[in-house]
Amino acid sequence: MKLLISNDDGIFATGIRTLANTLASKGHEVTVVCPDRERSATGHGITMHRPIRAEQVSSIYRDSIAAWACSGTPADCVKLALDALLDHPPDCVISGINHGANLGNDVLYSGTVSAAMEGLLEDIPSLAVSLASFTHAEFQPAADYVCQLVPQLTQLDQPLLLNLNIPAIAKTNIKGVTLARLGVRRYRDLFEKRVDPRGKTYYWLAGEVLEESDNDVPRSLPNSLSPEQNTNFMTQFITDAKAIQAGYITVTPLHYDLTAYHDLTKLQGHLPGLIPTKQD
């Protein structure tokens, strides 16, 4: 398979090198296009007001891998690869392996997920892969699982973006793989006020993750389900954060359509009150 790999940790990150080299060793045609430095938490930002530069990189990947370091964001990297650097579209876009989890509402900020989402926007099956730790550095179990999963992606009825999180434990201790819904991760955002050497004030974000609450429920469940079915749905699919804590690899399908379909009908009845008509 032809695979495009990107990330938000940069061209020299251990996670992407482990993933790219492992996939290439299995006979896949691998191209790496990723930021030239860490671009974590950039979301789906793209570069519009300055040029994007890309340089080929050698020596840090297997000889069969074409690797490019890009001055842009993770989303830039995938867009550039698909529109300018690759002769043919890849069979799959993979982002990662990220050093740190991308669970729950983290996906809204994640450069890792955004790079994979750029693939889905072009109807290409995509994976976002994260190791759920900032300190644990054993990426091989995650790379091995991606090798198993990639051939299955083209067998799906339609292209999907699958968000994978791998627990930071020994491979023998991983309990298995489970489908999971996004949880709600809450942060205590702390802005440290500092003063630079020239006496100017600046702020440094130092957020702290809080465990998700059992009361955090989806705001828009499938509108085809009854209240009882909604309860069963939530019971059947554990949140990704809780599944990771239990020692499972989590697989969560994501989509770029953020429409809260269940709320469209509800909102329709309130629309006249929310948007008053113009008075003559």
pTM to 2 decimal places: 0.88
Q: In the numeric block, which tokens belong to residue 166?
A: 């791998």
The share of the chain scoring above pLDDT 90, in percent, equals 70
Are residues 52 and 86 in contact, defined by beta-carbon separation less than 8 angstroms? no
Distances (CA, A) of 18 to 78, 132, 139, 234, 251: 19, 16, 7, 35, 20
Residue 52 has pLDDT above 70, yes or no: yes
233-277 residue pLDDT tens: 667 889 999 999 999 999 999 999 988 887 787 777 777 666 666
The most distant pair of C-alpha atoms in the chain lies apart, rounded to whole Å, by 73
Query: Would you list the domain boundaries of the chain?
Result: 2-181+239-254, 186-236
- CA 179 to chain centroid, in Å, comes to 16
Instruction: Tell me the angle at which helices 14-25 and 140-153 cross, rounded to the nearest 10 degrees.
Output: 50
pLDDT band at 49 (very low <50, low <70, confident <90, very high): very high
pLDDT band at 58 (very low <50, low <70, confident <90, very high): confident
Question: Which residues in 90-221 belong to E strands, given as ranges?
Answer: 92-99, 126-131, 161-166, 176-179, 186-188, 191-195, 201-205, 208-210
Q: Which fold has domain 2-181+239-254?
A: Stationary-phase Survival Protein Sure Homolog; Chain: A, (3.40.1210)
72-125 residue pLDDT tens: 999 999 999 999 999 999 999 999 999 999 999 899 999 999 999 999 999 999
